Structure 1
Amino acid sequence: MSRIIDISMVTDGDPTLEGKGVIFEPHSLGAEWNQENYDIDPNHWPTPGAAFAVEHIDMNSHTGTHMDAPWHFGPVMADGSKPKTIEEWPIERCMGDGVVIDISDAEDGAEVSLEEIQQKLKDMNYTIKPGDIVLTMTGNDKYWGKPEYTTRGGGPSREALKWILEQGVTVVGTDAWSYDRPYAAWAADYHKHGKDPKYLWPCHLLGLEIEYAHIEKLANLDQLPPHGFKVIALPIKIAGGTAGFVRAVAIVDEV
């Protein structure tokens, strides 16, 4: 038997990003449209005066659970090539064995070091292999809608992510607003070190050196075992997109 766990959040706008969110047009407007365009009596529908309903989506592509493509990180890869947009990202990389690394004990804004990541994997008795989808759990999904959603918790260091990618991983994910630790934390390091560019957006910019994609704003990672499950996270193919909305699920085999 297998159990499917939804690890996506509901997509309904994000106050930190531009866009009005989901704009609902009620069934009554559907009846009016049919009357105006096809002279259909609004009262002939099963529910009089109510035909179809639709909604318009006015959102940044990074709203809700989504996958960032390398094109989001910058316009040129380190080797001079053009980074992949979301519709170019290979679909086979969006499915794989999953592993959850619990970093919810990290202090706000803290970098989780390579040594800490490796120790957590050792404690889990797990070795990362090529094709794995590595998810870091901050617990931030429980704070969605609250001010601290974007500011609490830590994130993997650039060194830690580089090591993960060197194991043959091409997709990682987090239940936080960003795969990098909170924006204010790494920005503070940038200013603290005399505006040294090496402190800019560490994990994202690594994607211009080592090609990878990451999933942000996941949910319910606490419902998963540390490993022994599969992840399917297929992004919408937005033409030329820096990101695509994702309905991510985990499939857990149960005896």
Structure 2
Amino acid sequence: MCMACYVDEAMKSRIIAYNAEFHKVTKSPYGSDDEIGMLNLIDAESRSAIMSRTDPSKVFDLSVDHFIGMPGWFGAGDQPYQIWMTHTPQGEIVANAMGVTPEANKLVGYSGDAISMYTHCGTHIDTFNHFGYNGEIFNGFTAQDHLGSRAWQKCGPEKYPPIFARGILLDVAALHGVDTLPPSHPIGKADIEGCLKKQGLSIKPGDVVLLRTGQMLLWPDKAFASNTPGLNREGAEYLAKHGVIMIGADNLTLEQTPSAHQENFFPVHTYLLAEAGVPILEMAQLEELAAEKVYEFAFFGACIKLRGATGTPMRPVAMPLR
């Protein structure tokens, strides 16, 4: 174990990964009603600690735009991002949806629009009901008892608190001296410890860890979405057992694709969400942070509260530390 990332025995009791069993859903040490997993480490003390160190003079926006034709996870036939106008100034003069006078429609230029998309489009967070094992999700909630006709009744993003935490960036591409990691490159323990040593960092319980693969340099080309370099299960276990509360990356799926495991097509998703209680952040824009070598920062992010959803957009930001 990396000595700079030592976890004491008292903290281990609060780290869900230490209760995990391979390919089994983990019962939360935070109680039978727990739906937020490792986000339980966020409290008034931890928020105050990071905010007291935050330098607000610069803000790094870690999200991507949503637009028609954007890359995304559509391998299972899900809805790509679409936007359309529901009202236009000229259209209202003709249609008069508001039932007002022609003079009013000419005076007031009314525009409105609507969107449709898979909840895992763009920069977003994956919730614990996204993946599980054998009809169960994190903490033993079951599809039989907790999945309705429209949405899960447990572990939706509306339960997640706003995330205020120390963030660290591990620039794995830079570790290997490349702009973008090769397709399907697995990020395991050696890469993580190599980045920590090179960047002079340590992982602390309560951290948000972001992995840079360099994939955002391919955005928004189709190559962004195929054969992604990313975290493997070994790397996921290493981070989870050091008490991180969320893991994110600049790629499509966080994890290496295609899967190296014959029976599990998303081994990192299932491990983090169902076994370790660690939410996932995908498609984070990390290029500006990496270019300025800001490896430690205050991370702030909040979900759109889509009740019962398996994922939801997030617009995370980072600020340097004093």
TM-score range, shorter chain: 0.7 to 0.9
**Structure 2 residue runs without a partner (length 5+):** 1-55, 143-153
Q: Would the alpha carbon gap of residues 28 and 243 (structure 1) be closer, same or farther in structure 2, given more than 3 Å must change?
A: same
Give the partner amino acid of 1:81. F
Question: Could you tell me whether the CA contact under 8 Å between 1:8 and 1:246 is conserved in 2?
Answer: yes
Q: Of the candidates 156, 161, 164, which is equivalent to residue 236 of structure 2?
A: 161
Q: Distance in 1 between matches of 2:138 and 2:275?
A: 5
CA-to-partner distance for each residue in 1:6-44, whole Å, 9 max, x for gaps? Answer: 1100012445341451113333334556x3433232x44
Deviation at 1:80, TM superposition (A): 2.4
Q: Would the alpha carbon gap of residues 30 and 127 (structure 1) be closer, same or farther in structure 2, given more than 3 Å must change?
A: farther
- C-alpha RMSD of the superposition: 2.3
Question: Could you tell me whether the CA contact under 8 Å between 1:31 and 1:51 is conserved in 2?
Answer: no
Aligned twin of 1:252: 320
Counterpart mapping for 1:72-111 below 5 A = 72-74=130-132, 75-77=135-137, 80-81=140-141, 84-89=155-160, 91-92=161-162, 94-104=163-173, 105=176, 106-111=181-186
The alignment's TM-score, normalised by the length of structure 2, stands at 0.67
CA-to-partner distance for each residue in 1:111-146, whole Å, 9 max, x for gaps? Answer: 122122112111111111111110001121222231
Matched residue of 1:162: which SS? Answer: helix
Matched residue of 2:115: which SS? Answer: strand
Deviation at 1:226, TM superposition (A): 4.2
Deviation at 1:237, TM superposition (A): 0.7
| Match status 1:70 vs 2:70 | no
Question: Could you tell me whether the CA contact under 8 Å between 1:67 and 1:245 is conserved in 2?
Answer: yes
Q: Distance in 1 between matches of 2:295 and 2:250?
A: 16
| Match status 1:210 vs 2:285 | no
Counterpart mapping for 1:1-80 below 5 A = 2-13=57-68, 14=70, 16=74, 17-25=78-86, 26-32=88-94, 35-41=96-102, 43-44=103-104, 48=106, 51-74=109-132, 75-77=135-137, 80=140
Question: Could you tell me whether the CA contact under 8 Å between 1:9 and 1:64 is conserved in 2?
Answer: yes
Q: Would the alpha carbon gap of residues 156 and 226 (structure 1) be closer, same or farther in structure 2, given more than 3 Å must change?
A: farther
Deviation at 1:78, TM superposition (A): 6.2
Matched residue of 2:270: which SS? Answer: helix
Q: Would the alpha carbon gap of residues 112 and 121 (structure 1) be closer, same or farther in structure 2, given more than 3 Å must change?
A: same
Question: Could you tell me whether the CA contact under 8 Å between 1:28 and 1:50 is conserved in 2?
Answer: no
Q: Distance in 2 between matches of 1:103 and 1:228?
A: 15
Counterpart mapping for 1:161-180 below 5 A = 161-180=236-255
Matched residue of 2:192: which SS? Answer: helix
Give the partner amino acid of 1:120. C
Matched residue of 1:205: which SS? Answer: helix
4+ long deviations beyond 6 Å: none
Percent of aligned pairs with the same residue?
A: 21
Deviation at 1:152, TM superposition (A): 5.0
Deviation at 1:70, TM superposition (A): 1.1
Matched residue of 1:70: which SS? Answer: coil
Question: Could you tell me whether the CA contact under 8 Å between 1:20 and 1:58 is conserved in 2?
Answer: yes
Q: Distance in 1 between matches of 2:208 and 2:141?
A: 25
Deviation at 1:219, TM superposition (A): 1.0
Matched residue of 1:218: which SS? Answer: coil
Q: Distance in 1 between matches of 2:286 and 2:194?
A: 23
Q: Would the alpha carbon gap of residues 174 and 167 (structure 1) be closer, same or farther in structure 2, given more than 3 Å must change?
A: same
The alignment's TM-score, normalised by the length of structure 1, stands at 0.83
**Structure 1 residue runs without a partner (length 5+):** none
Greater Cα shift, 143-152 or 60-69: 143-152
| Match status 1:136 vs 2:211 | yes
Count of aligned positions: 238
CA-to-partner distance for each residue in 1:50-92, whole Å, 9 max, x for gaps? Answer: 6221111110111111100011112523652356222122x15
Question: Could you tell me whether the CA contact under 8 Å between 1:85 and 1:242 is conserved in 2?
Answer: yes
Q: Distance in 2 between matches of 1:78 and 1:59?
A: 25
